[in-house]
Amino acid sequence: MRRSMAPLFLLSVLLTACSVDRAPNEPVQSQGPVVGDWVLAGGTIDGVDAPVLEDHRITMTITGSRIGGTAACNSYGGELAMRGDGLHLENLAQTEMACAEPAMAAESAYLAALARVREIGRDGQALVARGDGVELRFDALLEASV
């Protein structure tokens, strides 16, 4: 049992380390977990609203050091790793289905933004993923809303 908790503990330590030296208006990581299932609720990418489509949701699941979900059309997955400049998504893979617009544009924008994320933390009940020019806000994904 101890071994299976190690990735979760490591991710918690890494994400806590990312929350140091924040400006007053930046979200502070709460005691709440980042592990779980999330759905993109809003945010900005280079000053433009993040793509939120009701019929092609963008989701994120964090389990230990693994991250994955649906990027509007395709499924994606990878690993979370800490480096000198923050959190990084590594070994990203995705399915390659084609969807109609605007789902493909939303997916492209989301995946490009996700690659720039350097910290993930809690802001109240929300999960916030931030990086250079990127702030993605996620709500908890409830089984009933799937």
Terminus-to-terminus CA distance in the chain, angstroms? 30
CATH of the domain at 60: 2.40.128.270
Mean pLDDT on 119-126: 91
> Which position has the higher pLDDT, 146 or 135?
135
Q: Which residue has the higher pLDDT, 146 or 99?
A: 99
The total of structural domains in the chain comes to 1
10 or 57: which carries more pLDDT confidence? 57
Q: Quote the tokens at residue 100.
A: 């109609």
Q: Give the residue numbers spanning the domain of 76.
A: 2-145
Query: Which residue matches tokens 């503990």?
Result: 9
Phi, psi of 39 (to 5 degrees): -130, 135
* Cα–Cα distance for residue pair 72/74, rounded to 1 Å: 6
The residues pairing with 44 across neighbouring beta strands, listed in sequence order, are 49, 135
Q: What is the pLDDT of residues 58-115, one digit of tens each?
A: 999 999 889 999 999 999 999 988 888 788 888 989 999 999 999 999 999 999 999 9
